[in-house]
Structure 1
Amino acid sequence: MKAIFKHYTLQFKSPSGTSRGILKTKETWFIILNDGEKFGIGECGMFKGLSADDQPEFEAKLKWTCDNIHLGLEVLLLDLMEFPSIQFGVEMAFKSFESQDSFNLFPSEFTQSNASIAINGLIWMGSKSFMKQQIREKIEAGFTCIKMKIGAIDFQTELELLHAIRQEFSVSDIELRVDANGAFLPDEALEKLKRLSDCQLHSIEQPIKQKQWDDMARLCHETPLPIALDEELIGVFSSKEKQELLQTINPQYIILKPTLVGGISGSESWIQIAEDKGINWWITSALESNIGLNAIAQWTYTLNSKMPQGLGTGSLFTNNFDSPLLVKNGTLRYEITDNWNLSYLNLNI
C-alpha cells in the first residue's frame, strides 16, 4: 500500500465573518491510500491560526506520514500526537481503505438513509441586516436550533438580534446557542453573560480566550448561562492534561471538533473523561470539505446523542466535493442518488 498527500483550497461562497476575521478560503489536505486495487482517502483539515498543528513543518510531517504508512494506524497515531488533524486524516484514510465503497465508513441506519442527525443552523457574523437575513433563512429552512457567532460587531446590536428572535420564537420553538470564539475580556465576561442570559440561551461557547483556566473556572462557577469549552481543548494532548483541565474548569459542556482534538480516538478520550465528570458534549465540524464532514457525521450518528450537532458547514464552499450528505428540515441526512459515484475521490483531486 502506498500513500500520497495533496493540498486543496476551498473557496467560500461568500465571505464568512468570525471574531478572528473574515474567511474567504480554507486550506485542507488529503491523504490518499492506494494498493492498485482499492483506495482510501482522509482529510487533514488543519485550520491556520487555530489548530495546534499549524506549524512550519506541517507538510513535512504529512510527507513523513505517507512515507511511513506501513507502520500502521496505531503506531502512526502515537507519533502524530501533536498533529491532531493528521491523526484524523490517517484514521479516516484507513477506515476508507477498509470500507467496501471508500465512503461508507460507519455503516448504520444513517448511511442507509433511515435516520438523520439533528443539527444547528449556523449564523455568521456580519451587518445586522445580513445576520437577520441568515436567521430568517434558517428558521424558514426548518431549523429548531440556531447558533450565532458573536463578538465581532457591537454587543448591543447582537443582543437586539437575540431578543428579536426570542420575541417571535419561544424556547420551545427555537434553541439558541452563541459562540464568542474567546472575544470577551475576563473582567467584562460575567456581566455580558448575565445580559445574554435574558435571551434564554442554551449555551455560550468559549466566552474568553483559552488558557485562562482560573478565569474560565470562575466564569463556569458563577455563570447564569451554561458555558461550553471549544478552543480550550486545542493543544491538550495527554489524558492527564485533559483530566486536569476538566477538573479545574468544570464546564457545563465541551465541544469536540475531531480535526482539532486528534480525530475520533482523541474525541472519544475527551468524551469518556467528560462523562465521568458529568459534563455533557456535542460534536462540531471545523470547515472540512464534504470528505471530512462525511466521516465526522457518520461517526457522530453512532454516538446516539440526542443534542443538535454542529455539522451543517458543507454547503459553504463553491468547490466542495459531491456528497450524499443533505441538509433537510434542520437535520443532516445521507441520501445516495442514482447518479452518485466515487470517481472524484480517486487520485485526481
Structure 2
Amino acid sequence: MLKAEYKPYTLKFKTPGGTSRGVLTQKSGWFIYLYHANNPLKKGIGECSILPKLSPDDKPGIEDKIKFVCENIDSLQDRYHEVLKDWPAVRFAVETAMIDLKGSKSGILYPSDFTQGKCGIPINGLIWMGTIDYMLQQIEDKIEAGFTCLKMKIGALDFEAEYKILQQLRKRFSKEFLELRVDANGAFTPAEAPGILERLAKLDIHSIEQPIMAGQWQEMALLCENTPLPIALDEELIGVFEIDEKRKLAETIRPQYLILKPGLLGGFKASLEWIEVANQINAGWWVTSALESNIGLNAIAQWTFTLNNPMPQGLGTGQVFTNNVTVPLFIKNGQLWRHA
C-alpha cells in the first residue's frame, strides 16, 4: 500500500528578489513524501512550490488539498493527473515523488550523463530587478562566472535606465559572445509594447518573455505577428490545463517560443503537452525553474537533460536562498552540473 506524508517549509532569499509583481524576501511550500507501507525507509520526495500571485495553487484550501492527497494517495496514484489538474503545483509534487520512489536511488529520477556528473546543462544567468548598481554588479558577477547567456528582468524600474544597461552590455559584448534575454513579466501595455520591441531589437536581444499581461490573446497575437524580435510566452501558459485549450492558445497567438515551468504547469506530463503544441506551430521552447528549492530543481534539471534541447535553460535559481536543501547541484562556467 502506498503511503504519503507532508511537511511545510519556508525558503529565505539571500537578497530580496525583485520582479514586476513585487519583491520577494521568502516563499512558502510543502514537501510530499511517498513510501510503501512494507518499506517505509525508501521514500520519494516531491516539492509543492508556490509563487504568490502567480501559482494557480495560491488560493485558500491548498494545505487541505495536500492533506487530502496524502490521506488518499493509494487510491489516487493512478489518477492524480486528472484529479489534480487544477492544482498544478500539488500535481507536480506527486508526479516527481512517484518518479523518485520508483528509482533505484533516492534523488535520481532520470539516470543520465547529467546525474553521473559527465555533462552539464547550459543555463542563463538571471539578473534580478533592483537598483541600477545592484543590477550592474549582478551582470559583472555572472560574466565573471562564465555565463554566455543572461536574462534580465525589465519593466519594474525606469525603462530608459534598464535600456541603458542593455546598451552598455551590447557595446561590450556582441550577440555571438553574449546572448541577452529580457523578461517583462507582462509589464508593458499593448500600446507601448511595439515601440519597446523595436528598440530592443536594435540591441540584438534574443527574445522577450511576456511583454504584455497574460489573457490578451488577440493583442499578443498581433505583437507576435509583427515583432522585430522573438516573443516567448510564460505567464500566458499558466492556468491552461486542457490540451485543446493549449492548442487553441498556441494557434491563436503563434509565439516564437514557449517557456515551460513544470511546477506551474502541472509537471512533466503537462509540460510535454506544451512541447507537442510548440512543435505543431514550429515554435521553440526552453525549461525554467520557478524558484523551487533544490528538491524541485533537481527533478526539473534531470528531466530537462533528457529532452536534448541545446538552448540555455532557466535553471539557475537554486543559489538565491540562504536555507536551501542540500542536493549535489552546482554551477560552473554557465552550466548546471550534478555530482555523481
What TM-score range do you get, normalising by the shorter chain?
A: over 0.9
Partner of 1:306: 310
| Higher mean C-alpha displacement, 224-233 vs 27-36 | 27-36
Partner of 2:54: 50
Between the aligned residues of both structures, percent identity stands at 56
Q: Is the 8 A contact 2:126 2:152 kept in 1?
A: yes
In the alignment, the residues of structure 2 paired with residue 73 and residue 207 of structure 1 have an alpha-carbon distance, to the nearest angstrom, of: 39
Q: Pick the aligned partner of 1:245 from 241, 246, 249.
A: 249
1:230 and 2:234 equivalent? yes
CA shift at 1:162, angstroms? 0.2
CA shift at 1:99, angstroms? 1.4
Q: Is the 8 A contact 1:44 1:85 kept in 2?
A: yes
Mapping 1:189-204, distance limit 5 Å: 189-204=193-208
Partner of 1:113: 117
SS at match of 2:99: helix
Q: Is the 8 A contact 2:27 2:50 kept in 1?
A: no
Mapping 1:89-238, distance limit 5 Å: 89-238=93-242
In the alignment, the residues of structure 2 paired with residue 244 and residue 53 of structure 1 have an alpha-carbon distance, to the nearest angstrom, of: 23
Query: Structure 1: which amino acid aligns with 2:17?
Result: S
Q: Pick the aligned partner of 1:286 from 278, 290, 308.
A: 290
In the alignment, the residues of structure 1 paired with residue 50 and residue 81 of structure 2 have an alpha-carbon distance, to the nearest angstrom, of: 16
Q: Structure 1: where are the runs of 5+ without partners?
A: 337-349
SS at match of 1:187: coil
Q: Is the 8 A contact 1:73 1:91 kept in 2?
A: no
CA shift at 1:110, angstroms? 0.5
Q: Structure 2: where are the runs of 5+ without partners?
A: none
Q: Is the 8 A contact 1:146 1:177 kept in 2?
A: yes
In the alignment, the residues of structure 2 paired with residue 292 and residue 321 of structure 1 have an alpha-carbon distance, to the nearest angstrom, of: 10
1:7 and 2:8 equivalent? yes
1:262 and 2:266 equivalent? yes
CA deviation vs aligned residue, 1:295-327 (integer Å, no higher than 9, x gap) = 000000000000000000001000001111110
CA shift at 1:89, angstroms? 0.2
CA shift at 1:72, angstroms? 4.3
1:330 and 2:303 equivalent? no
In the alignment, the residues of structure 1 paired with residue 133 and residue 56 of structure 2 have an alpha-carbon distance, to the nearest angstrom, of: 35
CA deviation vs aligned residue, 1:259-313 (integer Å, no higher than 9, x gap) = 1111000100110111121111000000000000000000000000000000000
In the alignment, the residues of structure 2 paired with residue 321 and residue 258 of structure 1 have an alpha-carbon distance, to the nearest angstrom, of: 19
Q: TM-score, normalised by structure 1?
A: 0.95
Query: Structure 1: which amino acid aligns with 2:61?
Result: E
Q: Is the 8 A contact 2:69 2:76 kept in 1?
A: no
